[in-house]
Amino acid sequence: IHQGRSNHAEAEESFSQALALYKSIGYSLGQANTLRRLGEIHQARSNHAEAEESFSQALALCKSIGSGLGQANALLGLGAIHQARSNHAEAEESFIQALALYKSIGNSLGQANALRGLGQIHQERSNHAEAEGSFSQALALYKSIGYSLGQANALQGLGEIHQAQSNHVEAEESFSQALALNKSIGNSWPSERIAGSRRDPPSAIKSCRRRGSFRQALAIYKSIGRNIGLSNSSVGLSEVLICQARYSEAKPLLHEVAQLSNQIDYKWARNRSKKLLAEALEAEKSSTGPSP
């Protein structure tokens, strides 16, 4: 309950007590599940070393009792931690192992999450073809289980890959679909994003994390609502429109991003939209100016 409410300090204490009890009665599966939950708590607090240790212990226990799902979940957590630390080789290996295990037990959501993690690793390495393949497979799986938030995240990744390859038509389509999904589901930060995103959470949230005020952070999460997902998709779509010299379409979108990012103090989106708007205005001025 505490974890679901972002009461991380209370959750850590509860899980630590549960872990001690499970150890005292020799219940390995209970220990493994509790260690994974502790790993998630440490991950949410950006305590990467503690998170890695918890996930690693959970993985070892799950191996000892032959729990394929437990191993896959622990590996997915380890992959996210390695990714957050920019240890791409270790992250890739963890995601690949998790993917194989999820496939062996027919867990579509787990497969999709592992594939999206792999897509982000390939993206960080500028391996565009591999990233596109991973995001596309993840998208298909998310669609098969009707998971709209997963679809939006996969489409966002595809849009960024298409944009990096100057495939503007495909990028526009992906960003537009992601934007529509984010609007329909009220996307929030950062519950369904694998660690290692290039975009930082708003500074107000980071400040709350530093102070340990997780109830206050939760209130901010709720107030942010869908604006993070909308901002990310709108920025991506604006970049495509500017590349296509469609300045009149990009400008209102960027004004909207600026407004949203100011409301939630989303520094990355605010700075990016400001820069893109300046580029759009300058390019528009040059394209309509008098010939020499």
| DSSP line for 43-77 | HHTT-HHHHHHHHHHHHHHHHHHT-HHHHHHHHHH
Q: What is the pLDDT of residue 190?
A: 40
How does residue 179 score in pLDDT terms, banded at 50, 70 and 90?
Answer: very high
| Two structure tokens written together for 160 | 């960024």
How does residue 205 score in pLDDT terms, banded at 50, 70 and 90?
Answer: very low
Residue 6 lies in a domain: no
Q: Are 141 and 112 in contact (CB under 8 A)?
A: yes
Residue 195 lies in a domain: no
Q: Above 50 in pLDDT, residue 241?
A: yes
Residue 283 lies in a domain: no
* Mean pLDDT calculated for residue range 200-217: 47
Q: What is the pLDDT of residue 264?
A: 80
Q: What is the pLDDT of residue 134?
A: 98
Average pLDDT for the chain: 84
Q: Above 50 in pLDDT, residue 146?
A: yes
Residue 40 lies in a domain: yes
Least confident of 97-101, 152-156, 265-269: 265-269
Q: What is the pLDDT of residue 289?
A: 60
Q: Are 76 and 117 in contact (CB under 8 A)?
A: yes
How does residue 224 score in pLDDT terms, banded at 50, 70 and 90?
Answer: low
Q: What is the pLDDT of residue 191?
A: 40
Q: What is the pLDDT of residue 260?
A: 87
Q: Above 60 in pLDDT, residue 284?
A: yes
Q: Which domain holds residue 75?
A: 28-106
Residue 33 lies in a domain: yes
Q: What is the pLDDT of residue 226?
A: 61
How does residue 16 score in pLDDT terms, banded at 50, 70 and 90?
Answer: confident
CA nearest to 112, candidates 83, 72, 154, 152:
154
CATH of the domain at 65: 1.25.40.10
| Per-residue model confidence as pLDDT tens digits over 94-121 | 999 999 999 999 999 999 999 999 999 9
Q: What single string gives the DSSP state of each residue in the chain?
A: -TTTTT-HHHHHHHHHHHHHHHHHHT-HHHHHHHHHHHHHHHHHTT-HHHHHHHHHHHHHHHHHHT-HHHHHHHHHHHHHHHHHTT-HHHHHHHHHHHHHHHHHHT-HHHHHHHHHHHHHHHHHTT-HHHHHHHHHHHHHHHHHTT-HHHHHHHHHHHHHHHHHTT-HHHHHHHHHHHHHHHHHHT--SSTTS-S--SSPPPHHHHHHHHHT-HHHHHHHHHHHTTHHHHHHHHHHHHHHHHHTT-HHHHHHHHHHHHHHHHHHT-HHHHHHHHHHHHHHHHHHHHHHSPP-
Q: What is the pLDDT of residue 194?
A: 39
How many Cβ atoms from other residues are within 10 Å of residue 49's Cβ?
10
Domain count, the chain: 1
Residue 160 lies in a domain: no
How does residue 47 score in pLDDT terms, banded at 50, 70 and 90?
Answer: very high
Residue 18 lies in a domain: no
Share of the chain above pLDDT 70, in %: 81
Q: Are 280 and 272 in contact (CB under 8 A)?
A: no
Residue 60 lies in a domain: yes
Burial (CB count <10 Å: 0-12, 13-18, 19+), residue 144: exposed
Exposed e or buried b per residue across 235-259, where buried means at least 16 C-beta atoms within 10 angstroms of its C-beta: bbbbbbbbeeeebeebbebbeebbe
